[in-house]
Amino acid sequence: MSNNYFRFKKFLVQQEHCAMKVCTDACLFGAYLAGKNTDFHGRPFRILDIGTGTGLLSLMLAQKFNDAIIDSVEIDESAAMQAAENFRASPWKERLSVHHRSIQRFNQSTIQLYNLIVCNPPFFENDLKSNDDKRNIALHNDALSLDELLCVIERMLTADGSFAVLLPWHRTVYFETIAAEKKLYVKEKMLVRQTPKHSYFRSMLLFCRQQTTTVEKEITISNEGNVYTNEFAALLKDYYLHL
């Protein structure tokens, strides 16, 4: 059974009321983006987290982007309340806001643009579903398709902004293709494998509006002895308690 909380060095994530709990690949995604805080075109002052869940990504980015105002959107009421609780308990509560609504409704209700938009979107399309409606919303694309997501990004991203997404590896090429149709181009691609013996299972993609040469990288989470690799530990050292 998953713990009701996950403790990081500078904040605590309560997750009892969230369908999707804190997981390693989401932590890696947050740390990867946080490590880019000096690489973006100017420091992002406004960040949008689509489908925030527990608020994990927003909290990780708030720790690194000292001046950022972060809007976190979550369609599930229980998860939105949980994220708000986590934000209030954090050192960055003044810069973090939760909006309980679909990203489509949020998009229609604001004229705000964002320097950085991040999303860990629904992973599965037309796959078998569980009896847990909240988990289905979190994992499947019924509430937000990848095409709808890109329409939101196209409207809400600043001209010099960046958009980052965590995807199953097998969805990478498809997503790159439909993103290019919206004139969003991959500037960095990080492929993720669990161990050296495993195939890639996730990809972390960083997009911009300018056509550019894609930088391709890869990272392995654990070595064959089930110990975190040096690369993984370096990214997570500011977050994980025992690194």
Question: Phi and psi at residue 232, in whole multiples of 5°?
Answer: -65, -45
Measure Cα distances from 186 to 10, 50, 108, 120, 181 in Å. Answer: 32, 19, 26, 16, 12
* pLDDT band at residue 131 using 50, 70 and 90 as cut-offs: very low
**Overall average pLDDT of the 63-71 stretch:** 93
Kindly tell me if the per-residue pLDDT of 45 is higher than 50. yes
Which candidate, 101, 106, 135, places its Cα nearest to that of 17? 135
Amino acid type, 167: L
Per-residue pLDDT, averaged over 218-234, amounts to 94
CATH of domain 5-236: 3.40.50.150
Give the pLDDT confidence score for residue 126 in this predicted structure. Answer: 42
Give 2's pLDDT tier (boundaries 50, 70, 90).
low
Domain boundaries, the chain: 5-236
Phi, psi angles (nearest 5°) of residue 118: -125, 150
- Give yes or no for a contact between 56 and 27, defined as CB atoms under 8 angstroms apart: yes
Percent of the chain exceeding pLDDT 70 equals: 87
Residue 59 near residue 11, CB atoms below 8 Å: yes
pTM of the model: 0.90
Q: Which long-range contacts (CB under 8 A, 24 or more apart) does 226-231 make?
A: 226/195
Task: Enumerate the β-bridge partners of residue 165.
Answer: 119, 205
